[in-house]
């Protein structure tokens, strides 16, 4: 007897098993941690690390090194000249909190 559409027979050491569905199954892990908010991140003590929250997840990275800060400053200076010349807006240098929504602060 031919297997039904979407199913295929499975055998284990010669013993027939129940048909196995070929469709994809999505498994989700249960939410175990609390969701972080921009407000909670701002309430943390200053420890020299960069704290962000993206979609409720708390992310921590080390502070940038001097070479990175020098590169950012050089880029910002060139961008600022162009932006001012063409009246395009403002150029800002980090650190600056940008809150996209209650669960996202970068």
Q: Give the span between the Cα atoms of 36 and 47, in whole angstroms.
A: 18
Model pLDDT for residues 18-53, shown as the tens digit of each residue: 665 555 555 555 555 688 998 998 899 988 888 888
Is the omega angle on the peptide bond into residue 101 within 30 degrees of 0, that is, cis? no
| Residue 97 scores a pLDDT above 70 | yes
Q: Give the span between the Cα atoms of 48 and 89, in whole angstroms.
A: 30
Model pLDDT for residues 47-90, shown as the tens digit of each residue: 888 888 888 889 898 878 899 889 999 999 999 999 999 999 98
Placement of tokens 């600056």 in the chain: 96
Placement of tokens 């909670």 in the chain: 40
Confidence of residue 6 (pLDDT cuts 50, 70, 90): low
The string of DSSP codes covering 50-95 is EEEEETTEEEEEPPPPHHHHHHHHHHHHHHHHHHHHTT------S-
Domain coordinates in residue numbering, the chain: 33-105
């Amino acid at each position: 007897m031919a297997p039904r559409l979407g199913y295929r027979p499975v055998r284990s050491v010669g013993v027939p098993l129940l048909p196995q569905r070929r469709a994809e199954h999505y498994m989700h892990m249960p939410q175990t941690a609390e969701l972080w908010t921009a407000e909670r991140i701002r309430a943390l003590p200053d420890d020299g690390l960069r704290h962000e929250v993206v979609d409720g997840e708390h992310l921590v990275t080390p502070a940038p090194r001097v070479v990175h800060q020098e590169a950012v400053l050089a880029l910002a200076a060139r961008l600022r000249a162009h932006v001012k010349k063409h009246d395009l807006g403002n150029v800002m240098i980090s650190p600056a909190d940008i809150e996209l929504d209650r669960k996202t602060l970068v």
